[in-house]
Structure 1
């Protein structure tokens, strides 16, 4: 009977997996909405009399409107979870008229901040004769630093990654127009690597977590480590592995190497699973997991016992909710539905209203059931544990196959030599 239940669970997970993969392929490859760029230009320039596509390596147009000439150029950069495409309109004096978003699939609660705080208006009137820097974004490529220039935009607090992607996309576009029509070349600062204190901190955290995984002595200091992780990863670094990040990898929405922090946290979570067969991120690095465990230990309440039957049912919650988020994202054409994790609410104090309702529930139950959210609802934990199990099973099968093959060869040689 027990075997039958396990088989039913396996079949259920297989159905979720294959239908989700089919939905993602369909959503990414077949439901993308084509952008009518000339219509978008006419919408923003009512007096347009002609639009001529410019032949070249980038999508660009010459525009005549109200007796004046303009240039429109499209380029993109990877943001928090998607590629953001920007159409930059430039007048014949080499000044930006406006920056228009043509494609994006960022988390709505963060990207809307760019509109509400009028981030795009900051580009108006900036020159293409030098780079457009990003103010207030220490450690990001294109950072203004102490340059004596007025050609910059200020990043929007809490949406720095999206702000950076927009500024990078605008720069790529203006550099193209500057070189083609204004005989102006400059070195793009968004191509420069930036190794900041947060990235270095993440590297140290992952290395210490790796050491703790293989050292039982460090377990004695776990309560202090949890506090460090909450403060450092949660409130200082503010970087988390989310379902959006993992989905971005699947859809190849991968930032350039100038975003070193993204590569550190992905290598530390996925890379350690592949190399060592250990889900180090969930156990030692995730700040929300650390917060739940610390509160559970600090409260000291008697743990609520959950029967094995209920536990088995609850274990299906994470893959089921993840599947629903993927299917809904495919249906509406926006995979922002994957952003249902509590990290932004707990550490950044920004989230959709549903998460504000759920966060107190997760925190309260974690006082009685250690890492309640992690055990039963976290999509990242489910995916990393699944990958870890598949990796270890694959290594075990490989070792068994190799040993049988080696033993067979050795025995055959022994018999040959003996005869």
Structure 2
């Protein structure tokens, strides 16, 4: 079946509609799944002799079977890389921290594992609420660490208020704050627009300077490149509740906006750190351009992206199902499987021009999906206008 044939076009339309329905179903079923999940999680933290009585938002009294209050259980939240981190803290009536439990965390699994292995919040157990939280963030997982520490601080503020008989502290509304990396990302994107529109004789040199700047700043210094999890966060609207880092979402939004307006994917061409790393290795090894012809190379990345997005929406954790090897190369953390995948991609880059970009990268399927639907809508509107003109001309006759 040749691409562009009537049968292929019909299959593409069915796949487009089916993908949208699958994502909607995953989002809806995921909402049903988590409706009572938090209550079950909280109940599982206590022995059978104790129970919870909610007294305010994010605040529960821990009581015995005979109605005597045993302590308090409060919730706190912090903004992580992939969304909100939620933590429960159980304290005694004397103000001693008895238990800390992470109820939900939406960051990439490799960074979460790094924080868990370091036992970041373990030193707080058994300490009084009056003790200051003097814990440094874990290097290489700073945003995840800070989100967890902020959640602990919020839970303890709530617990102190409960012990003093005061209302729960008001949670400050999340607002988007831009840092130097965000401003740099916008500046690099604007530079990419200018360079790609330029006809200067040094355009190629400028292009390489831009790519290497993005490789260092967005890659090795900040690891702020977007991935399939960023797309999942955008669809799930996790950014409305606050994020620890907005740079990937900002880059994704700029990329999609420019793509829909001008049919050009500037990010992959000029800014993607992982793409630049592959291209640099290709220069060293004399890599040859190769374009896979088999339909498997078109449909497998699409199915992989759809699966990752669906699972991320269902479990409300897009970052937990990200499959890109970015964390290994730029954060030096990740699973053995991703490490092996990274090594294979980098070695293959010496022989083949950007092998990841042409096989498993989720940006390709996303670009194809958006452009296909844009052209489909345009053709449909154009066909309707033609039909309306024909009907109008027949009426006049």
TM-score band, normalised by the shorter chain?
A: 0.7 to 0.9
Q: How many angstroms does 1:403 deviate by?
A: 11
Q: CA deviation at 1:206?
A: 2.0
- Mapped to 2, the partners of 1:19 and 1:398 lie a distance apart of 22
After superposition, the CA RMSD in angstroms is 4.2
Q: Does 1:196 align with 2:179?
A: yes
Stretches of structure 1 that go unaligned for 5 or more consecutive residues are: 130-148
Which of 311, 319, 328 in structure 1 is aligned with 2:302?
Answer: 319
Structure 2 equivalent of residue 297 of structure 1: 283
Aligned pair partner of 2:206 in 221, 230, 250: 221
- Preserved contact between residue 322 and residue 338 of structure 1 (Cα < 8 Å): no
Q: 1:316 to 1:180 in 2, by over 3 A?
A: same
CA distance in 2, matches of 1:226, 1:51: 57
Post-superposition shift, 1:288?
0.4
- Seen in structure 2, the aligned counterparts of structure 1 residues 94 and 318 have a Cα distance that, compared at 3 Å, is same
Deviation string 1:47-69 (CA, Å, 9 cap, x unpaired) is x855451332334224469x984
Relative to structure 1, the CA distance from residue 104 to residue 274 in structure 2 (aligned partners, 3 Å threshold; closer, same or farther) is same
| 1:68-79 aligned within 5 A | 69-79=70-80
* Whole-Å separation in 2 of the counterparts to 1:336 and 1:194: 21
Shift of 1:100: 0.8
Q: Establish whether residue 241 from structure 1 lines up as the match of residue 226 from structure 2.
A: yes
Contact 2:297/2:359 (8 A) holds in 1: yes
Residues 124-170 of structure 1: CA deviation (Å, up to 9, x unaligned): 366766xxxxxxxxxxxxxxxxxxx9433321222222222222333
Match status 1:287 vs 2:273: yes
In structure 2, the residue corresponding to 1:151 is in which secondary structure? Answer: coil
Unmatched segments (≥5 aa) in structure 2: none
Please identify, of 350-359 and 282-291, the stretch whose mean Cα deviation from structure 2 is larger: 350-359
After TM superposition, give the deviation of residue 113 of structure 1 in Å: 1.8
CA separation of 1:262 and 1:18: change in aligned 2, threshold 3 A: closer
Paired position in structure 1 for 2:92: 91
Equivalence for 1:141: none
User: 1:293-324: per-residue Cα shift (whole Å, max 9, x none)?
Assistant: 222234334445x57x43x4322231122244
- Larger mean CA deviation between 14-23 and 153-162 belongs to 14-23
- Residue 362 (structure 2) pairs with residue 360 (structure 1): no
Q: Which position in structure 1 is the counterpart of 2:264?
A: 278
Moved more, 227-236 or 332-341: 332-341
1:6 aligns with 2:8: yes
1:27–1:244 Cα change, 3 Å: farther
Mapped contact 1:23–1:326 kept (Cα < 8 A): no
> Contact 1:28/1:251 (CA < 8 Å) preserved in 2?
no
Distance 2:313 2:247 in 1: 29
Number of positions where the alignment pairs a residue of Structure 1 with one of Structure 2: 384
SS at match of 2:56: coil
Over 3 Å counting, the alpha-carbon distance change for 1:37 and 1:365 in structure 2 is closer
Structure 1 residues 313 and 321: alpha-carbon distance in aligned structure 2, compared to 1, 3 A threshold: same
For residue 94 of structure 1, report the CA deviation from its aligned partner.
Answer: 4.2
CA distance in 2, matches of 1:247, 1:167: 25
Instruction: Map 1:106-117 to 2 at 5 A.
Output: 106-117=107-118
The equivalent of 2:146 in structure 1 is: 164
Offset, 1:346: 1.6
Helix, strand or coil for the counterpart of 2:238?
coil
Matched, 1:175 2:157: yes
Please give the alpha-carbon distance, in whole angstroms, between the structure 1 residues aligned to 2:6 and 2:382. Answer: 29
Distance apart, 1:357 and its partner CA: 1.9
2:247 to 261, 266, 276: 261
